[in-house]
Amino acid sequence: MMTMSENKNWTPKIVAFCCNWCSYAGADLAGNNRLEYPGNVKIIRIPCSCRLNPLFILRAFQRGADGVILCGCHPGDCHYSTGNYFARRRMTLLFSMLDYLGIEKGRTRVEWCSAAEGVRFAGIMNDFVKQITELGECKKLEDVRCKTN
């Protein structure tokens, strides 16, 4: 594990999968209100949190992501009724698999954030980036073919 003191040029690569109806709209609200969260958070809009294939998270780590976060509607508030319940179960299984593969627990997270919670969205992203920065680079699933340098 590399700390920031060892590599001052390193910034974590964060992938955020956001539900179209709530979390993505929350990210949009955060941007409209000029709330700051790091630019190294790459947001990928998905139709619903339950539509996130766990292989996408593994692929993100393989392609160099240092942390992956899934943001969806609050339980009971899903546009598709029960989508986030399925996502929560699927992510629980994925977390145990990532633990088996040696990926630290703090590198993945599930958060519920509504369209009206732009401040909360920015806070979640700032907190997650801080947490990943403390963990350092993730090299467990890294594919050398995906390196640019």
Cα pseudo-dihedral 56, 111, 66, 131, rounded to 10: -170
Average pLDDT, the chain: 90
Residue 145 lies in a domain: no
Residue 23 lies in a domain: yes
Judge whether residue 6 has pLDDT over 90. no
Q: Residues with Cβ < 8 Å from 20, sequence gap 6 or more? A: 45, 46, 47, 48, 79
Cβ pair 103, 60 in contact under 8 A: no
Tokens of 17: 């999968």
Residue 144 lies in a domain: no
The Cα–Cα gap between 73 and 136 comes to: 29
Residue 2 lies in a domain: no
The Cα–Cα gap between 138 and 53 comes to: 21
Residue 131 lies in a domain: yes
Quick check: helix, strand or coil at residue 57?
Answer: helix
pLDDT digits (tens, 9 = 90+) for 13-37: 999 999 999 999 999 999 999 999 9
Residue 25 lies in a domain: yes
The Cα–Cα gap between 113 and 75 comes to: 10
Q: What is the CATH number of the domain that holds 44?
A: 3.40.50.960
Whole-structure pTM value: 0.88
- Chain centroid to CA 82: 21
Going by their DSSP bridges, the two strands 14-19 and 41-46 should be labelled as: parallel
pLDDT digits (tens, 9 = 90+) for 89-140: 999 999 999 999 889 999 999 999 999 999 999 999 999 999 999 999 998 8
Per-residue model confidence (pLDDT) at position 141: 79
Domain region containing 40: 14-137
**Domain total in the chain:** 1
Per-residue model confidence (pLDDT) at position 140: 80
